[in-house]
Amino acid sequence: MNIVIVESPAKAKTINKYLGSDYRVLASYGHVRDLPSKNGSVVPDNDFEMHWDVDPKSAKRLNEIAQAVKGADKLILATDPDREGEAISWHVLQVLERKKLLGQIPVERVVFNAVTKDAIREAMRNPRAIDEPLVNAYLARRALDYLVGFTLSPVLWRKLPGARSAGRVQSVALRLVCERELEIEKFVAQEYWSLTTTLANGQNETFNARLFSAEGDKLGKFDIPDEATAMALKAALDGGRYSVGSIESKSQKRNPAAPFTTSTLQQEASRKLGFSPRQTMQVAQRLYEGVALGGVTEGLITYMRTDGVQIVPEAISQVRSLVSGLYGQRYVPASPRQYSTKAKNAQEAHEAIRPTDFSKAPDKVARYLEPDALKLYKLIWQRTLASQAASAEIERTTADIDVAGTDGKTYGVRATGSVIRFDGFLKIYEEGVDDAVGEDGSLPALTQGESLDPRAVEAKQHFTEPPPRYSEATLIKKMEELGIGRPSTYAATLNVLREREYVRIDKKRLIPEDKGRLVTAFLESFFKRYVEYDFTADLEEKLDLISAGDLQWKDVLRDFWRDFIGAVNEIGDLRIAQVLDALNDLLGPHIFPDTGDGKPRACPSCGDGQLSLKVGKFGAFVGCSNYPDCRYTRQLAETGEKAAFADGKVLGLDPDTELEVSIRTGRFGPYIQLGEAADGEKPKRASIPKGTDPDAIDLDRALALLSLPREVGIHPESGKPITAGYGRFGPYVQCDGKYASLSTPEEVFEVGANRAITLLAEKAAKGAQRGASVIKELGEHPEGGGKVQVLSGRYGPYVKHEKINATIPRDRAPEDITLEEAVELIAARAAKAPAKKKTAKKAPAKKKAAKKTAAKKAPAKKAAAKKSAAKKTAQKSTSSKEAADEAAS
């Protein structure tokens, strides 16, 4: 029996069908070993010795593999054809060798770029050994990520409370987002004007032309800076004499884009399909590993983690034949197109992403695919076909028109038009836009010297715009251009930034949170070299040289660690006050915007204090230097008008008490306050509901908020009052300690007794059900052990198998989760589960011994102290785990 090892059960299931009864395919469920989440997993002082750990779930998989290998004829390692795939094979081999299970059993490594019968059998005929340089590159990358995470993250915790972690690639990606935000904040719009004329030829055909020159000099973008200049030019063009000066037509060719790489697929799927990079990779993984097509399971696309743009000659021949058959021979170029990537440090060992079989057109496999999978497959299929199609032919015409202005000066206006003479590849696919191809607008027939009739002149005001925020797709494109990260890391890196709450996504744009900006500013101030783009790209290049066998991996680690640990040690004695001073200077324009008085850091409360960054239990905030005499504070994000609320925005007087009602801002957000503190008692306050604009609150609304909680009625069963109000988790009704949520903030003021009683009863009934509600039944787990379900729980949707629960990613709708996705999520969750400590069973103690023990019981204070210490230890362990997770990403 030949034992074949792959990563995933879906892939194993597909390959099992291609190989005969002499083969048994087992899944490792990804990596089987990892560096433990604790200090000392990589030991620089011992030649970078690495200590690997096997978690319980992986131990179970390895035991299954070990049992299968005993007495096997051959072990075949068939994991993915990239660095991570090579590493998984190496880890499996290392474990089996340590168990001394291989003996004389031959070991082969096979790789394939597509999960198809022909590709699998071809790979089996051409085995090789483990690629040691590729493994060394993995070890170097893993050690670097671990060392950065476990060395830098604790520095952040000590010097910048509230920050969670830093990472080698993650921190550089975050810097890109933060720098773009700073560009936007510093941007000052510049006014400029343009003039457009509407003209008609002798056949009464109209077209538009724009002013581009005056007295023979070309006008620049900002040469018409204001309305006065624009109106003077408009008056000169109105009623002027127009004649055609010159006409020039040029034929241009537009060539198709290359087939997809990981990066370009993520960008296009984002633009055209609205997919996040993570969603794109999840769907592509399923298309690669195999789809059931009428009883036959087959991979529909080639390997989806690649930066190569070439495809094999036989695939090119198939594409050219297909294009000719579908669209005609004119749509096929004379010779095959060859592509090369422009991305920095790209490796072209792998093919581009393409369909494995071009005869499987999207419409032929549509009934076997989920909607998302069909959309992505169609995108890949069309892009690959277009890459080998003929160029589009476009004719562009430019007409320069002379104008004798009414002011005696000469001007020039220009009209342009273009028309597609031959659509070529555009008939199949157009990059970056919807698949709607047509005329771009052509000019009417004109002749040189012809007089034209002016119909209208329009002056239009414009303002320059700041650079756009990055989307996930454009950030990936920028990272690829700079040579930062690799195809397999992009989606994971962006996911970490979101999970750490360093960035948020609004309208598909990445906006840095203040926590992220603080981390970036800290790293730029004290670890600038390690967030420089060139430094990170050079390190990536060295890792590539390791994989090519041109550099020794431990030499790279030594060079990095020597300077890195020196930089860490240098700031060991740095006081937090020094850190905050540096951050005050670097983030000044963001934290302390100039309101026009030239004193952006003056305290608005006491007047003579200076505003500065402060750190507390919940992170950073802005406070006055005169604390505790002045207790002015505001959240970091509150700048400009919102910051003014911190000192109080008076809405009016409460008619009952005649006290001022004001909007204020504290560390936890805006709130309503009635009067001022008196006789040591705090004034009455009410929180402003989340999502409510403080500017929109008037006196009536503020008084309504201060009146909460509101009594709704009396419960008929308990006889106790029902009240409505706002709490930590939003609007609610409650009676006798039992709560039920309201759907909108307005319901607090509108809900009646009947509705409140119904909501409380429904909540009580739901709680009595003891368990989450089932959203979807997915079927039996491929390894047995019961069914897999999609459930709705208290903290959101999740998938469940036996005792393992795995959270569903935020960018995936729970109704769309497939069995294959669920199995992967469950396997990943199981791999992270901590090992259970075995405790020896003790014989029951005798009653007398028990009494003695009770008599010698420690005082309560000592027990509490031990409990507190244990809690701190647990917190420290959790932080270490977070750092390790970050390093791994």
Catalytically active residues are: 303
d(CA 38, CA 319): 52
What DSSP line would sit under 73-108, residue for residue?
Answer: SEEEE---SSHHHHHHHHHHHHHHHHTT--TT--EE
* DSSP type of residue 646: G
Residue pair 257/274 in contact (Cβ under 8 Å)? The answer is no
d(CA 19, CA 125): 12
Percentages (nearest 5) of helix, strand, coil residues in the chain: 40, 25, 35
| 139 residue type, one letter | L
Longest CA–CA span in the chain (Å) reads 120
Closest C-alpha among 1, 4, 14, 2 to residue 89: 4
Bond prior to 709 in cis (omega within 30° of 0): yes
d(CA 490, CA 484): 9
Please, what's the b/e burial string for 6-40 (b: 16 or more CB within 10 A of its CB; e: otherwise)?
bbbbbbbbbbeebbeeebebbbbbbbbbbbbbeee
Strands 451-463 and 191-200 come out as antiparallel
Q: Is 18 left (phi over 0), alpha (psi -120 to 50) or beta?
A: alpha
d(CA 675, CA 698): 16
d(CA 148, CA 159): 16
Alpha helices by DSSP H, 528-661: 533-547, 553-570, 576-586, 588-591, 641-644
Residue pair 778/790 in contact (Cβ under 8 Å)? The answer is yes
Bond prior to 834 in cis (omega within 30° of 0): no
Could you tell me the CA-to-CA distances from 624 to 162, 597, 608, 630 in Å, in that order?
A: 20, 18, 9, 7
d(CA 756, CA 271): 45
Q: What is the 3-state secondary structure (H, E, C) of 203-257?
A: CCCEEEEEEEEECCEECCCCCCCCHHHHHHHHHHHCCCEEEEEEEEEEEEEECCC
d(CA 642, CA 395): 54
DSSP H or E stretch at residue 410: strand 410-422
d(CA 666, CA 644): 11
| 842 residue type, one letter | K
Retrieve residue 811's tokens.
């960018």
| 865 residue type, one letter | A
CA dihedral 145, 150, 153, 159 (to 10 degrees): -140
* DSSP type of residue 68: H
d(CA 452, CA 186): 46
Tell me phi and psi for residue 106, to 5 degrees: -70, 145
